[in-house]
Structure 1
């Protein structure tokens, strides 16, 4: 008896010797043969990674496999189907509790990827998974309203990623503590927000997630301790509002894309810091800068740096800014932190957007275009002029700048 069954092209020895279409059909035939000759008794884990089998798999295959293998002792189920137009309206009767009475009662973890399951069938399925602790839905595009019932008393982890039709996520699971969401901002609510402690919201292909996180999350998850958010663009600067993240300790903000935040006021991110009195670690990826900053502090002849009156951080110990550039608003944000954070111990400013890590692995830095190198050198000059003098002796400052060995003579400061 084999309690853990995983089927994928990567794990199917010998299949790579055949053409792609034949390889997919051979895998389906092999899975069919194995499962038909398996009693299903004792199987605790079933993983069907069939994303490359669009030419061979049918609804009959999936449903028959579930019928053969899924027994009351199964604890983990993962199904990754191909994205194929031929599988439109892929039947999901294999997930209907009426056909699998009692078989889902021990299920602890479910991951459905590209499974065209409807809201109704998913709701019926979840109503029979009383022990479920982890639920992941990826590219399940038949769901518009995702409702997680309160009877899922043990559910602690929920992931909803790239389910393009989802407009509302409404969870009443009382023990939910970790939530991951990848897609544009939508309406999200938790029945008992006090237990949600870790949230990751990724909108790296979409815009508006920073605004959403600042204005909506304090009321959605009042006891949040760790927040990671990504955004491809922001139509507005981050507002200063009274809502607080009273328990937030770890904050990571990633502003994604090349030159997509050229008009953004980085200083407005102080709104997150001001709202998070318990914050201990702050990470900011300020984007990739392949063009010179028009708002560079080096080109501004006058004007004092902005400060938020009364701002003070007494718990913040570590700050890392990747993609540090010469934008005045980013220099202002850094200065605000340095001058009002007596607890600060470590400050890392990376002007290379992490490209220096390539040197560690390959012995050679990632290629940077001339304007990107020039902007990185401008950033180094800006921090030497406006930041270094404000660093207390108790703070360890680490500056990553373009490697002189790999980029010597390729750029100039402007």
Structure 2
């Protein structure tokens, strides 16, 4: 089945919006120009209730339907990534070292497309809260918006979001009841030894050897300390130490990520990291300290809302174009905070072949935008029919 015909008519407008956004990426909470662009479009659509400056640069706009009813929330993230774009496109990023490598330009565009349609037709009761959020890529902008009270302030009863998926069939949808994305934590390990000449290691307390011992021991957390049926990833992603081939350095630094779904597993990993760091430091005669930072919680769909959303997606993509039990993955998403505050669902939208997310050659497929906008629009009309 095709996207909503009226929204298909907006395809060129959406392409224009998306490519402007792609050229003007902004990071974390500093999405002021992006928010300004969004507000200009919303006003053009005839939407008058627009609230700016939430979570620094976030926007919430309200569309009134026909008659009394609840408020449904639709969220799009706006921020980009600190990466240098290498696509060579004529609408590539104009900002050195910043690019929309995760498709948030497309997410914002799809919600704008739905907003234009909903403001024009208003074939629903109650209200729609359009949530344009900064700082998904670190900073937890969704959590900040929740902390600043958007759910109660705008009386939002349920909330939904989409994320594009490269290489999945164009216009297809995937979701799952329950957990769909993992909680993400970060660990930092600082090792303090005694440096010296590489020819005289006996006069040092070598942090490099201790670093290697700690990294090797960390691998046993997954292989030996947790139940094999519980999803868990512990990855060392950075090691920094040393300055020359003949110098044993004074210190070393280890950084990594932890992905879990179960808080008890999360607790176990933090405890074992502490034990490993302390034990390995003692065995190598160095000092070491662990900093463990809990980040975004797991993104957990409400089961009923996920299946409802899948039904709506089938109206746009056809039954064969929807995967209802796609399982969960180890990526993380700060929409988790909104789903903790209100029932709702998170879905993935296929955008066809192309470079993967967070790749300098990535580019959102403009042909996917009418599918996402149609999903948002039909979701509102189906959840809150006149």
Q: TM-score, normalised by structure 2?
A: 0.24
Q: Which has the higher contact order (CA 8 A, sep 6+)?
A: 2
Larger Rg: 1
Greater percentage in helix: 2
Q: TM-score, normalised by structure 1?
A: 0.23
